[in-house]
């Protein structure tokens, strides 16, 4: 039987294409990849399992795909080779100021586990994203302005390399690998099995949400961007323009939401100031009761669902977290707040008049800056320290399988949106890749850091064993590093 030698030696489980459980085992967050048939899916239970899989795949010439939480927009954590799934390597242990995280741990579980351990970590704004992809790519969340990127707080990591060895990397051990593992992108240098993260001391915070009429969208988007950049580091916020299905009376709606680490009075004043800058009032404004970090983030990420309910549908008896449909997206990092005409152009590319039946569209902005911008751009592989916002669009269709014209339609909307983003862009973020990227995507993602990243690739994975469509190349970039 295929892979019998591997199965016999794994502490975890191996699922083959003709076996029960394979339909679930091959899933990512996005349903688009459900048709890909991996060689097998290995649910690794230990670092030794990961090393076994790497050696097995190398010896047999099988491709290997590293999977944490399966949220890669472009499907980089699956393929026709062996999928190394890390979801069972999900421990969370606080040891003084450091938290040891299994690379497969999802945000919602890390928050929950740390609730009783008195410490917390920087997470993103989606509950089931795993540490493996989040931290290797950078890691942006509502705590980023105050405490930096998730990866800025990685003190060390354990990595299984292409030759099957396991190393610990830190500022003093394998420093180049340590540098590359913080923002150079997952699935490129090795399989991280565990991160050691400097935890944050943020016992309490306050969640908030305001909804605004779509007619005021240009003013709100312009005001929000200025407000978010000018605001204190204690403010973590996103803005999303939602399609009519989410707004009152079937109209699109603008949602500004986030968390505030400072006193509530300052948050209320700040929200008043946002309305003043926009010159209009929100349809609704909710400031939640100040609470423990884990509770507030859980409420923001999962609403009233329990931890078990918040998991991705299919992954547990109670799990009801939604999966994402066929999507075409375009995302860029921008270095300053958009002017009013630029906001109008961004919204024009989102234009609800372009809506086709069954199609969804989202314009998403996350505020950056603050502590993330106070780190030199060469200090970690994440280069774009000048970025103040992540801005982008998702165009989705739930019935793409039944509508042969849908993919081309969504692609053309994403291309149009990409044009609107270009004048503002200062780079791209590897964890929010666009469906279509320019030829020089390495520079887009990594700026000047790409040269060192290629050198690290050559040193640690000279045969390019760990690769996907946009993993760093091993070729020298210039005469300087050849």
Ligand X SMILES: Cc1cc2nc3c(=O)[nH]c(=O)nc-3n(C[C@H](O)[C@H](O)[C@H](O)COP(=O)(O)OP(=O)(O)OC[C@H]3O[C@@H](n4cnc5c(N)ncnc54)[C@H](O)[C@@H]3O)c2cc1C
Q: Where do contacts with ligand X occur on this chain (CB under 6 A)? A: 29, 66-73, 76-77, 86, 103, 124-126, 129-130, 132-134, 136-141, 186-187, 191-192, 431-432, 468
Q: Measuring CA to CA, which residue among 409, 398, 383, 444 is closest to residue 32? A: 398
- Dihedral in degrees, nearest 10, Cα atoms 169, 175, 177, 180: 120
* Residues in contact with 152: Cβ distance below 8 Å, sequence separation at least 6, in sequence order: 139, 182, 371, 372, 375, 380, 382
Q: Measuring CA to CA, which residue among 437, 439, 448 is closest to residue 481? A: 448
Please compute, for residue 98, the number of CA atoms within 13 A of its CA located in the half-sphere on the CB side.
10
Query: HEC profile for 328-341?
Result: EEEEEEECCCCCHH
What is the rounded distance in angstroms from the CA atom of residue 249 to the CA atom of residue 214? 12
Q: With respect to ligand X, which residue has the nearer C-beta, 124 or 231?
A: 124
Q: With respect to ligand X, which residue has the nearer C-beta, 71 or 452?
A: 71
Q: C-beta of 311: minimal distance to ligand X in Å?
A: 13
Q: With respect to ligand X, which residue has the nearer C-beta, 68 or 370?
A: 68
What is the CB neighbour count within 10 angstroms for residue 117?
A: 14
Q: C-beta of 366: minimal distance to ligand X in Å?
A: 7
Q: How many residues does the chain have?
A: 482
Q: C-beta of 73: minimal distance to ligand X in Å?
A: 6
Q: With respect to ligand X, which residue has the nearer C-beta, 187 or 247?
A: 187
Question: In sequence order, what DSSP letters do the residues of 335-387 get, joined into one string?
Answer: SSPPPHHHHHHHHHHH-GGG--TTEEEEEEEEE--GGGGGS-TTSSS---TT-
98-102 β-sheet, strand order: 92-95, 98-102, 191-198, 154-160, 166-169
Q: C-beta of 76: minimal distance to ligand X in Å?
A: 4
- If DSSP codes are grouped into helix, strand and coil, which group holds residue 459? helix
Q: Please name the helix (run of DSSP H) or strand (run of DSSP E) that holds residue 23, with its range, or none.
A: helix 22-25
Q: With respect to ligand X, which residue has the nearer C-beta, 106 or 359?
A: 106
**Which residue in the block uniquely carries the two structure tokens 């497969």?**
104
- Dihedral in degrees, nearest 10, Cα atoms 454, 456, 460, 461: -10
Residue number of the CB closest to ligand X reads 133
Q: With respect to ligand X, which residue has the nearer C-beta, 359 or 470?
A: 470
Q: C-beta of 92: minimal distance to ligand X in Å?
A: 15
Q: C-beta of 383: minimal distance to ligand X in Å?
A: 15
Please check whether residue 360 is in contact with residue 396, taking contact to mean a CB–CB distance below 8 angstroms: yes
Q: With respect to ligand X, which residue has the nearer C-beta, 158 or 454?
A: 158
Q: With respect to ligand X, which residue has the nearer C-beta, 193 or 343?
A: 193
Q: With respect to ligand X, which residue has the nearer C-beta, 100 or 251?
A: 100
Q: C-beta of 106: minimal distance to ligand X in Å?
A: 7
Distances (CA, A) of 274 to 33, 127, 212, 228: 40, 28, 11, 9
Please check whether residue 169 is in contact with residue 177, taking contact to mean a CB–CB distance below 8 angstroms: yes
Q: C-beta of 263: minimal distance to ligand X in Å?
A: 25
Q: Measuring CA to CA, which residue among 149, 138, 131 is closest to residue 86? A: 131
Q: With respect to ligand X, which residue has the nearer C-beta, 77 or 90?
A: 77
Q: Measuring CA to CA, which residue among 316, 309, 380, 336 is closest to residue 154? A: 380
Q: C-beta of 134: minimal distance to ligand X in Å?
A: 4
Q: C-beta of 270: minimal distance to ligand X in Å?
A: 21
Q: With respect to ligand X, which residue has the nearer C-beta, 192 or 278?
A: 192
Q: With respect to ligand X, which residue has the nearer C-beta, 70 or 447?
A: 70
Q: C-beta of 380: minimal distance to ligand X in Å?
A: 14
Q: C-beta of 479: minimal distance to ligand X in Å?
A: 30
Question: Bridge partners of 69?
Answer: none
């Amino acid at each position: 039987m295929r892979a019998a030698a591997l199965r016999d030696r794994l502490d975890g489980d191996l699922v083959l294409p003709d076996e029960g459980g394979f339909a679930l085992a091959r899933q990512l967050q996005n349903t688009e990849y459900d048709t890909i048939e991996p060689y097998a899916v290995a649910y690794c239970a230990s670092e030794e399992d990961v090393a076994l899989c790497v050696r097995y795949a190398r010896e047999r010439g099988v491709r290997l795909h590293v999977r944490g939480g399966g949220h890669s927009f472009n499907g980089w954590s699956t393929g026709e080779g062996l999928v190394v799934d890390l979801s069972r390597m999900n421990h969370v242990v606080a040891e003084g100021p450091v938290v040891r995280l299994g690379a497969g741990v999802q945000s919602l579980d890390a928050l929950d586990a740390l609730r009783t351990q008195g410490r917390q970590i920087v997470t993103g704004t989606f509950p089931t994203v795993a540490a493996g992809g989040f931290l290797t790519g950078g890691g942006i969340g509502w705590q980023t302005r105050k405490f930096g990127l998730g990866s800025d707080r990685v003190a060390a990591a354990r990595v299984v390399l292409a030759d099957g060895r396991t190393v610990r990397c830190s500022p003093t051990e394998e420093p180049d690998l340590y540098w590359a593992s913080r923002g150079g992108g997952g699935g490129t240098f090795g399989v991280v099995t565990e991160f050691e993260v400097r935890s944050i001391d943020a016992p309490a915070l306050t969640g908030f949400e305001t909804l605004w009429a779509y007619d005021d969208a240009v003013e709100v988007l312009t005001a929000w961007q200025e407000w978010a950049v000018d605001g204190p580091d204690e403010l973590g916020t996103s803005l999303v323009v939602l399609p009519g299905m989410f707004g009152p009376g079937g109209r699109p709606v603008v949602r500004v939401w986030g968390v505030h680490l400072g006193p509530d009075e300052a948050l209320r004043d700040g929200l008043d100031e946002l309305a003043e800058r926009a010159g209009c009032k929100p349809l609704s404004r909710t400031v939640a009761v100040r609470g423990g970090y884990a509770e507030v983030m859980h409420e923001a990420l999962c609403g009233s669902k329990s931890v078990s309910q918040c998991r991705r549908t299919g992954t547990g008896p109670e799990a009801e977290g939604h999966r994402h449909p066929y999507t075409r997206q375009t995302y860029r990092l921008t270095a300053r707040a958009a002017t009013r005409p630029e906001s109008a152009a961004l919204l024009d590319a989102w234009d609800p008049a372009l809506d086709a039946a069954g199609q969804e569209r989202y314009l998403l902005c996350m505020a950056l800056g603050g502590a993330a911008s106070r780190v030199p751009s060469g200090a970690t592989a994440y280069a774009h320290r000048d970025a103040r916002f992540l801005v982008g669009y998702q165009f989705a269709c739930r019935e793409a399988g039944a509508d042969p014209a849908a993919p081309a339609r969504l692609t053309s909307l994403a291309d149009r949106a990409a044009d609107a983003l270009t004048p503002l862009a200062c780079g791209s973020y590897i964890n929010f890749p666009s469906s279509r990227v320019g030829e020089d995507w390495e520079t887009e993602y990594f700026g000047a850091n790409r040269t060192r990243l290629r050198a690290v690739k050559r040193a640690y994975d000279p045969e390019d064993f760990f690769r996907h469509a946009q993993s760093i190349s091993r070729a020298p970039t210039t005469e300087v590093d050849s």
